[in-house]
Structure formats: structure tokens, C-alpha cells
Chain A
Amino acid sequence: MSQEPVAIVGMGVFLPGASTVDQYWRNVVGGVDAVTEIPAHRRDPAFHGHDGTAPDRTHGRRGGFAPEFIEFDPVAHGVPPTSLEGTEPDQLTALAVAVHAVDDAGGLGRLGDPERIGVVLGRGGYLSPGLRGFDQRVRTVRQITRTVGELLPSAGPDVLDRLRTALLEPLGEFRPETAAGLVPNLAAARVANRLDLGGPAYTVDAACASSLVAVDHAIGELTRRRCDVVLAGGAHQTHDDTLWSLFTQLGALSPSQRISPLSREADGMLIGEGTALVVLKRLADARRDGDRVYAVVRGSGTSSDGRGASLLSPSVAGQTLALRRAWEGRDPAEIGLLEAHGTATPAGDAAELTTVADVFGQAGGTRSVIGSVKSMIGHTLPTAGVAGLVKVALALHHGVLPPTLHCADPNPLLDKTRFRVLAEAEEWGALPRVGAVNAFGFGGVNAHVVLEAGVDAAPKRRVRVDEPERVLRLAANTPEELLARLDRPGEGDGDGLCRIGIVGPDERKLATARKVLAKVAATGKPWHGGGDVWCSVDPLLPSGKIAFVHPGLEDGAEPRIDDVAAHFGLDRPQWSTATVLDRATSVSATGLVLDQALRRLAIRPDALAGHSVGEWTAMQAAGMYRAAPDLPARYWPDGFELPDADYLVLGCPVERVTELLPDDLVVSHENAAKQTIVCGPPESVAKFAETCRGTGIVARTLPFRSGFHTPLMRPYLAPFARLAADLDLREPTLPVWSATTARPYPAEPDAVRELYLVHLIRPVRFRALTEALHDAGFRAFVQVGAGQLGSYVTDTLGERRHLVVAAASGTRPGLAQLRRVATALWVEGGSPDFEALEPRRIRLTTGNSLLSLGESARGLLDDRALPELPAGVPDAIVAEFTALLTETRQTAADVVAAAARRRVESTVDVSLAAMPYLRDHRFFRQRDGWPDESDFRPVVPATTLVDLACRAAERAWPGTTAVAVRDAVFSRWLIASPAQRVPLSMSREGDDVTVEIGPYALMTVELGTYAPPPSRTAVPGPETEPPLSAAEIYARREMFHGPSYQGLARLTGLGEQHIRGELVVPEAPGGLLDNVGQLLGCWLMATRPDGLLAFPRSIGRLTWHGPEPAPGTRLECLVRVRLPRPDVLEMTAELARDGRVLASVEGWRDVRFPCDRAAHRVYAFPAENLLAERRDDGSVTVTDRWPTVAARDIYAGIYLSASERAEFAAVPPRRQRGWLLERIAAKDAVRARLAEPVYPAEIRVHADGRVSGRGRALPGFAVTVDLTGDTATARLRSTP
């Protein structure tokens, strides 16, 4: 099968000196030398810059280093931020660069079926930073403890344990998700995973030829039509000691610290790192899809040297084979630019130039150009081939021949070739627009590709390297103060109601700003955006309300929102105006993306509205319904049909229009005080346009036809009516205003459906809507798209106070426009989150240097008997020794000083943001996506409070270890939503620290050394098999805990008064001990019929006999149970690891709450179960089984939403019991009638017995409840 011509339609790079393709090209053309000294944080002076032949040092001290940060939003691309530390950097760079390359190709949406997109990456099996850190954790720490143990046998297990802990400390926590970050092929697989691609995704290792071999694979996939698109390239993010040492030992590293490919002075390479990818597509498809084609890969050849030369020296015959294969059927003399492999080793360059002379022959006329980007970025090993490929593709695209550095005196062999080296960039000129790239790997693997310029007149890439604009924001109490601040920059941004904001402040804009401020101060009127300046001395917000207004169909330019979608990780909608339907879909999808982006900026509307089809966008943004993508096909199977009517836009009020309007035209839109649209048959419209212009009225026909908002739509209504009837309507999250009625949408679903249809045949009264919104207190109008809608608002409101700002523009990039939106709203008193506009960057792990001991064990061995210095030791050593002793004494003194502090106060941020794991410790369940987190009641577990106290004490007195906790009492639930800050105070007496966490918990933490482990407790009595497995416990929600608190791995035995199991330490802090509590809960569930809910109240004593093990560690646990009182559960527990007791718990008490099996099912699956019983007559009845206040609180939590709980709290205490009982009965009566599972909190019971849905539609029920003694009976009645 002959090779398919393949187009490069997108590219992305992360290379030394360049995070973007534009920056890379600028460097390549400008001859920027991106090779630098090794950055300080990556250099070990004991290793680098030394002569000598031992492998533990190198003379190398320069190389090509990729930037420290990469622009990438882990959250937006589904990478848990907690897993970043320790993950192989190439997995992150490959994903980030793939995202950029796909973006460059126009976004995933342009690349066809994702199932047919593959990923092939070149990647070397070097000791990468992630694995290296893992090896330190797994092996080096053991090696050091063993060595110290051998060196100092008196150290004993305790000291070695502390040493181990202190060595592990700087490595941080190891999380299970980090493990995935260490699997080598995930560099490619993660790309496919995160972008949801279905083609093959794998890495290939062909040493320095890897990425061109990857391209060769890609061409194969495309030629065989197994994929339609392949992302191909290479990732190499390893600048590791072992790699440096290896290349030093090979004699390949340049002693002159310069990489000079093709030069007579070439003496070796410098290593580089980086990641680069190209997006490849069959040329025919790219042409069909109108893609921008940077270059076309016309041929690719690969080969091996066979036995041609030794394993590490190149063979001309092998290289020649690869080149000839790639050029098969073409004349190699037809070449303009050759990107040499150019490692700058004398042997490598000589072999390559000989091959080049053989294959390409001598020059007849103008010499072609040879070069190597390695002279600028170093040898990026597996990435080298694609780094050269991107360079040549860009050179062809721009028609420029780039220079090569450090080659003033070329290798004499160059004379025998047809090539020359450029010191500066040149226009391509008359040379053939053909390029080629070499990449040759160790062991004799060779690759070569041939490229041609993309023949299409594709728009040239605009080279832009821009930084986001800065926004200068100043505030003050008076205009004079504000002016003073403007004149004296750097004195702080100030505070107050007079505000000025300048986007991209430069001298000119600052001068404008001064004039603006003077004018605003004089007139009191705000200034909105002229000259990129906003200013107000009398803010509209927050007293005024914000409306989002969604545009309808207009004849404007495509809004620029690509960068917005990319920045916020949202899908970029396609823009098409081919048909009215396409136009509507495009405007709406754009509006929804912008709506989300605005909310990420913390710009929140008080209501939504829209113009024409924009009203549908508003309804969707408010969650009233969701437009399925197959809507048109479902309701218009034979195609979308609309009346053939023209719209005429008239520059005058509706009153004037009606005076002139002929009978066959109707008013379809009253847009603004001075703009009206009429609609009707095209010929009448044309005639009327003439009439109007004759009287001086500006009249323009819109470039699309339909009869929306006129009676002409009537014959076309049937599919819309079906659609409206089928709409799965929800209560809007925000009021949506209708431009048909100039009022908010009605609440009743049927009325909404009716209005949906009326909207299609009645005029859009946007002018009236604007008036009504202003009357209702709306002052800021954010136009959620590009176009003119905002100008209608201004035209209607005139001099009345308001702000109009557009969230998108057809000319300015999207993020730049949003920056202006944020500035406008801030100036008017809003508080948008400007941070959200900043690029998200992550720091890449470049590998730990040697391990350094954590604070807790520094000087650990100092108190050991020090050996006497033998006589005759040189003075220098004695001096060093003495200095060491002094330093140690100082360290000891610091520790003692810290220990002398007695009392420490701080606060704890108790929120889901600070403690995301609490999402897995929520007491109550609600519907997926339920908006009010407080209804879930995320609670900080008692054991997490214990952990919090221990860690706080250790931090306050550095060098100490919390080894036990006693007399812990947990008085109240510490709830994390709404977020709160809780005081934490500690006072220390000797080794005892009393820790008080607000009114929630009090305990004593003991500092010191771990007590030796006691011997293990024998199994106390006969056992049976526990009735449920650990997995079933969670699946059936016998325990309510989510993944980060799930540690029960196996239940091994159940006894009369004990339970045994195996635990795997979960991730959440304090999660281990919480699981001991869960085991106690399992005993309770397995042995008792009632009182099944139990929560910790106190812990007598908790003793650690060694450091708390890392998540993932497997432990055995024995829990012995006592019931001192029916409502109290007490346990003694023992945790053991590898047969040794690790922790003992004594006197842990849980308080039990009334809860039988049936009630527990309601607690565990509230949507599916009722507390009430159904009776034959259709009513339900429920009896009070929760007599105490604390118990009632739990059932109130299951049944009530936040607002109802507030009502409940306001009920007089004596009435609360009955009130709650009535609510439960009423809600269960409704739930008993409904066919589908409904959470109690989704039902709202009104005082008059009417029932409505919260976030869901309910039939019009009303409930009658009778309360007799302890029993409430509820029945439904239909509402009038």
C-alpha cells in the first residue's frame, strides 16, 4: 500500500525557551539560544561540573531546559490536583501539549469522530522523575535505614523508625492516584483518556528516532484508514543524573558546554528536554474539511543498521536505507531544507553528512539549506525528531529558511553535499518548497520524513506571543482621593465606592483615565469603557440587580470565544450561519458557554432574559429544559421549515411604523425606543423599505428569512407544539423574563408550554421588557454574546442609570472581552473574580535531588556516644567536626526554644474547599446535582478532629511527635457547609497539650516518643462469619462513607462482643481511626435490631506505637464491644500491622440514636424508602420514634431542606415534634403517590397544604395531615 499524503493541521510544543508554537518559531527564526546553565534548583554541585571518569559525577553543566511551569488547568482536564505531585511530568506535558495542538487544529469538534483518533508518542525508557522519586520512597529510604542500622547498631528500631519517617517526610504523602502517574505508557494513554479518544494510544521507544517513528506509525494508521486523525510526537521530560552520567560515560557530552551541529568544532551534544505533538490527517480529508495545512508529509522511511556498525556508532548504509525509502518515487535533489539529526558528536555528524552526500548528491545551482534546531534547544532525545518536524513544517508554512547556531566554520564534509548552513534566516526563494527531517537513534534505528508546503492558500498563522492584559483597579471614598491614587501609583489599590478600572494601562490610557475621572467627578455620571477606562463614583451594584440578556439572530460577525472555552475547559461550539437553524444553534451554544464563563468569574445574574431565540438560551441557562442535540431530527424529520418572509429593520419607534405599515406586513420586534422590525412577504418588504427611506427612516433587510414572532408561523407550529409538550420542564434556578409578556415566566409548566408557543407568533417586545426590568431594579445588563442587543437597552433607557456590557465581541479575543466585563462590573460595585481569568499553570516535577532528612530527625544521632577523635587527625577535619557540633547545639537550642512556648492560638478553615474529603463524609443524601451543599450536612468526623489536633500540636512545637490522645470529648457536630472558621487553641504543660477546637472538641495530645507495642490481644471468643462483606457494607450504605473514608477491606469474624476486620488506610486525614469506628458500627448493624445509628462522643485514650501508616497500608483491627447503657456503645480496639500492635484505643464511646432497620433504609436510601406506612385507603401514617432533640435533628436532616430546617428551628420547642411529624407524613404521602424515587428535600409543603417541587416538577397535589398523639396521618387531595 503506498503511503497516503498526510497533512499537519495542528501543532503544540513545550520545549526549551518555548511554551507555544509561536514562541518556538520566533526563537527558531531569530536564532535564540535556549541552552542555559542548569537551573539552580535542579543542580547538585556534588554531581555537576566535575571532571573525572567516575559515573557519580559529570563535567556537564549546561543543557536545554523546558519552562518550569506549563499552562494547564488540571481540574478542567480531569486530573486530580492532589495527584500532580509525583506524577510523571511527561504525562502532564503530553496532555497539555495535546490539548494545545488539538486547539490549534480548531478544537476536537473539527476532528471528526473521536473514536477514530489515535495517539502515538515517542518516549524513552529513561529513569524519569516520577519513577526516580518512587524509587527513593521504595528503596533508598530502606537502604539508608539499613546502612545507619549497620553503621550504628545501638540505634535500635525506634531511632530507625524515626529516621525512616523523617526521610519520607519531604517526599510527601503517596496517594493511590499517584501510582497511575508512574505507569510509562500513560504519557499517551492519558491523552486518549482525558480527550476521550477511541483510536489506539501508545508510546514507542526508538531512542532518538522515537518521535519520527511515532509519525511513521501515525501515517500507517491513516493510510490503512484505521484512524482519521492521529496525534503524533514525542515526550521527554527527564534531565536526570543517570541520563547525564550515561551520556558522559558514552563520551557524547560536549566538554566545551556548547552544541555545535555540523560545525568543524563540534565536540558533543548537550541534552534537552521537551514535548511536541502534531495533529495528522489524510490530506484529502483536510482539504475536504477546509483545514489549515501547515505542511504535507509526502514520505516516511525507517530502517535499522543491522550489523552495519557497532551498537552505539551510526552506519551510513542503515541511514541511507531510511532516506531512500522515504524518497521513493521522488527526486532527492528537489529539496529546499533538510533538518539534520545533528547530534554534534564528531562521529555522528560525519556519518550523517556522508549519508546526506550520498542520497542528495551535489548541488548544481543554488545550494539547499541544512540545519539543526539542536543548536538552540539541545538534543531532546525521543522528542528530537518531532521538534525538527515542527520546525520544518513552520518553515514551509512561512516560506522562511531558519538559521543554525554555532556553525561559523562548518564541517568540511559539508562541501561534498548540496547543502549550506545559514547564520541568519532567509526567505525561501526559488528553492523547492520541500523539506525533510532526519532522526537517528542509538542501536542503529533510523527515521526520515519528507514534507511539502501545504498547497492550499491556508491562512497563515499569525505569530503572537502575548501576555494577558493587566487591569489597574483603584478605589477611594472621594473622586479627589481616587485622582490622588491614580497620580501616585504603587500606593495600594484602596477601598471605597469611587472606582476606576483601566484595562491594559499604558501612558496614553492613564492620561485618558485622568480626563475621564475629571469628567465623572464634575458630572457624577459614570464612564463605561471608552478608551478602555471605566469609572463610577456612585455604583449601581450591589443595590441594583444584574440581568443576563441573550442575543437572538443578528447579522453580525462570529463572536470570538475559542480562548474562553479553552481557558475554562468548556466545549467550543461550532459557529455556522448556513441556515436559520444553524444560526440559532450557534448563538445559543455560544450563549451557554459564555453564561458558564461569566459565572466562573463570580458574575451572577439576578434574572435572565433573551431576544427572540435568545429567550430559549436563557431558559436553558436557567435549567428550565435542556435542548437535546437530536431535537431537529426528532421533531422535523423531513427538514426544518419556516415561512419565506423577510425582516426589515427600521430606525424608528413602533408608533411611527404603525402609521405607515401596509396590511400585509406586521411588526415582529419592538427592539428599542428607536428600532422596530417588521416582517412579511419579500416583495412587500422591499416596497415598504423604499417608502420608509423616502421619509428618512433608516431601513435595512436582514440577511435571513423566517416568520418567527408573527402569525405567519401559525401553519408551522405543529412540530413546535409537540416539542413544547414533550419538554422536560424544571423550575428555573433564576427568574427568566419573557419578551412576549415583559414579565417573568409563569411557574406552572403548562403555562410555560403555552408561552413557549405564543412567543413564536407574537412580537418580541424587547423595549417593553427593558423598561420592565429597569422598573424592577435591574441596572446592569450583560449581553451574553456579540452583537447589538446591548445597544437596544441603552437606546430604550437613554439617560436612566444603567450599565450595558457585552460578554463577547467579533473583534476582540474572548478573554480580553471578559476582562472588560469584569472591570465594568467591578467599577459599578460588583465583585467579580479577576483571578479566574489568569492562565492556570502548574509546576512540573523535575525530579527530587538527593533525599534530605525531614526536621523531625535532624541530629537524631547526636546524643549517641560520639567516637573519640583518634590522635593525628588533620586540623581541617577537627575544625569541621567542631563546627558540626556547634551547629547541632544551635539546632537543639532552637527546638528547645520552640518547646518552651506555652500557648498557641490559631483558626481552622472548615470548608469543603479546605477539606474536600468531607464530600465523602456527608450525613445525608440528596439528589445528584442538588444545589445546596448544607442539605448534605458534611461533618468533620471526630477522628479527623483528633488528627487535626495532633498535627497542629506538632506544627506548633516543631520536632515533636504526637504519640497519644486522651480524654477526647466531641460535644457538637462540626459542619463544613456553610464554611466556617473555627478557633483552635493549644496550651502545653510538659508533654501534654490541651487542644480545644471551638465548642466542638476538647482533648489532650501527648507529645514524646512512641510507647513500645504491647503484645497482641487474643480473639476474645467464638466467632461466626459476618453477614455482609466489606464491599456490601458500602454498597448497601450500612456505612454512609464515601471513597476517601472507605477503609473496610474485609470483615473476618463476628463475636458476641467483638468484631474483627482488615482495614486499608484511606486517604482522608483521620480516616484510619474513623474506620475503627465503622467496624464498631458493623458490629452494631449485625447484632442489634434498633438503635442502629451511632456516632462517637468521647475517646478515653488512643495510643500510637509507631507513626501513622500511609494511605494504602493494610492493617488488622480487633474491636471489643460493651454496652454500659442501652444508648451507649463502648469499645476497646487494637490496630496491628505486620503482626505488631500499631495503635490501641480504650474507652471509645458512641451514642446511639433510635433507628430500626426500616428507618435505617430511609437514612441510607431516602429517595426510595418511606418512614411512613401506606394504608389501604391511600393515606399514609407515621409514628414518632425519635423522642430526643438530637434524634429529631437527624430525621429533620433527612426530610427537610435548608429553608425548612430554618422554619423548623423557629417553631416553639414544644411544637417541634408535631411539626416534624406532620412534614414527614405529608412528604411521604406525596412520595407514596409518585412512581419515581424522590428525595424528601425535593418536596416543599406549604402552610395551606399545597405541595410544590424544589428543582423538579410535581403534579398539583395538596395534602391534609391529621395529628393524633404520636401519629400523623396524611392524605392527598387534588387542588382546584
Chain B
Amino acid sequence: MTIDHASAVFDVVAELLTQLTGDTDVLGIEITPDTTFHEDLQLESIDLVTFASILAEHFGADVNLAEYLAEKDLDDVIGLTVGDIARFVGERTCPR
């Protein structure tokens, strides 16, 4: 995965998240790789489900967040960052 690819994917993931939450602009939150879903964006696990389908729709069925999350226990899910997701999406969409 190239640096360019990674940063492009991150930008898309961040943009999709901004659309999902809809209030990052008001709150002045800048989404960075360290931004957490639960603590920073106040998203619940049910919102991750929504985000999973948004990702699949945008990047295709290969980006299966469900499989990624399967390996995580609850604490990992709570601590999940935007960077984690972007990295996962990047790996799945890396042009080989």
C-alpha cells in the first residue's frame, strides 16, 4: 500500500464519517487517524453497523467491516479509531 493510497483512503473514510455524524463541523472536530468512534464521535456500536454498510456501498463488498470486527473484543471495538478503519479499508482496496 502506498502512502498516497493510504492517505486518499483516509480522506474518503473521514468524509464518509463526516456525512454520517453530520455535526463534526459544528463541534469543530477534525477527524484524524487517532479520532475514536465512541469517545470522540459519540457513536454507538449500532452506528458502526450503519457505517459498515456505507463502506461496503462505497468501496465494494470486499470491504467487509463485519469480518474485521469479528476479531475484536468489546474493548477493542470501544477504542476503535478512524485510523484503524482506514488502514483496514486501505489493505482491502490496495491495487495489487
- Interface residues of chain A, those whose CB is within 8 Å of chain B, are 511-512, 515-516, 519, 527, 529-531, 555-556, 651-652, 672, 674-675, 689, 692-694, 696-700, 703, 788, 791-792, 795, 811
Q: A674-B46, A700-B74 are in contact. List 17 more A-B contacts (CB 8 A).
A: A512-B27, A512-B28, A519-B26, A527-B23, A530-B27, A555-B74, A651-B66, A674-B49, A675-B49, A689-B70, A693-B64, A696-B65, A698-B49, A698-B52, A698-B65, A698-B66, A700-B45
Q: Pull 28 A–B residue pairs with CB atoms less than 8 Å apart, ordered by A.
A: A512-B26, A512-B28, A515-B26, A515-B28, A527-B23, A527-B26, A530-B23, A530-B26, A530-B27, A530-B42, A556-B74, A651-B49, A651-B52, A652-B49, A672-B46, A674-B50, A694-B67, A696-B53, A696-B56, A698-B49, A698-B52, A698-B65, A700-B74, A700-B77, A703-B74, A788-B45, A791-B45, A791-B46
Q: What band does the interface of chain B fall in when counting residues whose beta carbon is under 8 Å from A?
A: 20 to 34
Residues on A with C-beta less than 8 A from B74 are: 555-556, 700, 703
Cβ B46 vs Cβ A699 within 8 A: no
Distance in Å from the Cβ of B28 to the closest Cβ of chain A?
7
Complexed CA–CA distance, A693 and B27 (Å)? 34
Residues on A with C-beta less than 8 A from B6 are: none
Cβ B26 vs Cβ A531 within 8 A: yes
Interface string of B1-34 (1 = CB under 8 A from A): 0000000000000000000000101111000000
Of all chain B residues, the one with the shortest Cβ separation from A810 is: B78
Asked if B48 is an interface residue, CB under 8 A from chain A, the answer is yes
Distance in Å from the Cβ of A699 to the closest Cβ of chain B?
6
Cβ B64 vs Cβ A696 within 8 A: yes
Q: Which of B23, B25, B46 contacts A651 (CB 8 A)?
A: B46
Interface string of B44-73 (1 = CB under 8 A from A): 111111101100100001001111011000
Residues on B with C-beta less than 8 A from A788 are: 44-46
Cβ B47 vs Cβ A791 within 8 A: yes
Cβ A693 vs Cβ B70 within 8 A: yes
Residues on B with C-beta less than 8 A from A529 are: 42
Residues on B with C-beta less than 8 A from A689 are: 70
Complexed CA–CA distance, A692 and B69 (Å)? 12
Cβ B66 vs Cβ A693 within 8 A: yes
Of all chain B residues, the one with the shortest Cβ separation from A651 is: B49
Cβ B46 vs Cβ A792 within 8 A: yes
Cβ A696 vs Cβ B61 within 8 A: yes
Of all chain A residues, the one with the shortest Cβ separation from B64 is: A696
Cβ A699 vs Cβ B66 within 8 A: yes
Of all chain B residues, the one with the shortest Cβ separation from A520 is: B26
- Contact A696 to B52, CB < 8 A, known contacts A674-B46, A792-B46: yes
Of all chain A residues, the one with the shortest Cβ separation from B55 is: A696
Residues on B with C-beta less than 8 A from A651 are: 46, 48-49, 52, 66
Complexed CA–CA distance, A696 and B49 (Å)? 10
Distance in Å from the Cβ of B86 to the closest Cβ of chain A?
18
Residues on A with C-beta less than 8 A from B61 are: 696
Residues on B with C-beta less than 8 A from A527 are: 23, 26
Cβ B27 vs Cβ A531 within 8 A: yes
Complexed CA–CA distance, A516 and B42 (Å)? 16
Complexed CA–CA distance, A689 and B28 (Å)? 38
Output the residue of B26, B28, B47 with the most chain A CB within 10 A.
B26
Residues on A with C-beta less than 8 A from B47 are: 791
Complexed CA–CA distance, A788 and B47 (Å)? 11
Cβ A696 vs Cβ B66 within 8 A: yes
Interface majority SS on B: helix, strand, loop or mixed? helix
Cβ B67 vs Cβ A693 within 8 A: yes
Complexed CA–CA distance, A511 and B25 (Å)? 12
Cβ A699 vs Cβ B42 within 8 A: no
Residues on A with C-beta less than 8 A from B50 are: 674
Output the residue of B45, B48, B53 with the most chain A CB within 10 A.
B45
Residues on B with C-beta less than 8 A from A699 are: 66, 70
Distance in Å from the Cβ of B95 to the closest Cβ of chain A?
22
Output the residue of A672, A693, A694 with the most chain B CB within 10 A.
A693
Distance in Å from the Cβ of A806 to the closest Cβ of chain B?
10
Residues on B with C-beta less than 8 A from A696 are: 52-53, 56, 61, 64-66
Nearest 4 pairs of A and B residues by beta carbon: A651-B49, A791-B44, A693-B66, A698-B66
Output the residue of B48, B61, B66 with the most chain A CB within 10 A.
B66
Distance in Å from the Cβ of B61 to the closest Cβ of chain A?
6
Q: Which of B25, B39, B42, B48 contacts A698 (CB 8 A)?
A: B48
Of all chain A residues, the one with the shortest Cβ separation from B69 is: A698
Residues on A with C-beta less than 8 A from B69 are: 698, 700
Of all chain A residues, the one with the shortest Cβ separation from B72 is: A700
Complexed CA–CA distance, A699 and B48 (Å)? 11
Complexed CA–CA distance, A527 and B49 (Å)? 23
Distance in Å from the Cβ of B47 to the closest Cβ of chain A?
7
Residues on B with C-beta less than 8 A from A795 are: 46
Residues on B with C-beta less than 8 A from A519 are: 23, 26
Of all chain A residues, the one with the shortest Cβ separation from B27 is: A531
Complexed CA–CA distance, A531 and B28 (Å)? 9
Complexed CA–CA distance, A556 and B42 (Å)? 15
Of all chain A residues, the one with the shortest Cβ separation from B75 is: A557
Of all chain B residues, the one with the shortest Cβ separation from A697 is: B66
Distance in Å from the Cβ of B71 to the closest Cβ of chain A?
10
Complexed CA–CA distance, A696 and B28 (Å)? 32
Of all chain B residues, the one with the shortest Cβ separation from A791 is: B44
Of all chain A residues, the one with the shortest Cβ separation from B48 is: A698
Of all chain B residues, the one with the shortest Cβ separation from A671 is: B46
Residues on B with C-beta less than 8 A from A674 are: 46, 49-50
Complexed CA–CA distance, A692 and B52 (Å)? 13
Distance in Å from the Cβ of A813 to the closest Cβ of chain B?
16
Complexed CA–CA distance, A529 and B21 (Å)? 13
Residues on B with C-beta less than 8 A from A652 are: 49
Cβ A692 vs Cβ B27 within 8 A: no
Distance in Å from the Cβ of B54 to the closest Cβ of chain A?
11
Residues on A with C-beta less than 8 A from B27 are: 512, 530-531
Distance in Å from the Cβ of B68 to the closest Cβ of chain A?
9
Residues on B with C-beta less than 8 A from A515 are: 25-26, 28
Distance in Å from the Cβ of B92 to the closest Cβ of chain A?
12
Complexed CA–CA distance, A378 and B93 (Å)? 71
Of all chain B residues, the one with the shortest Cβ separation from A703 is: B74
Of all chain A residues, the one with the shortest Cβ separation from B42 is: A530
Of all chain A residues, the one with the shortest Cβ separation from B61 is: A696
Distance in Å from the Cβ of A698 to the closest Cβ of chain B?
4
Complexed CA–CA distance, A562 and B42 (Å)? 24
Of all chain B residues, the one with the shortest Cβ separation from A675 is: B46
Distance in Å from the Cβ of A40 to the closest Cβ of chain B?
48
Residues on B with C-beta less than 8 A from A791 are: 44-47
Complexed CA–CA distance, A674 and B66 (Å)? 14
Of all chain A residues, the one with the shortest Cβ separation from B49 is: A651
Complexed CA–CA distance, A1202 and B74 (Å)? 53
Distance in Å from the Cβ of B7 to the closest Cβ of chain A?
26
Complexed CA–CA distance, A527 and B67 (Å)? 34
Residues on B with C-beta less than 8 A from A512 are: 26-28
Residues on A with C-beta less than 8 A from B70 are: 689, 693, 699-700
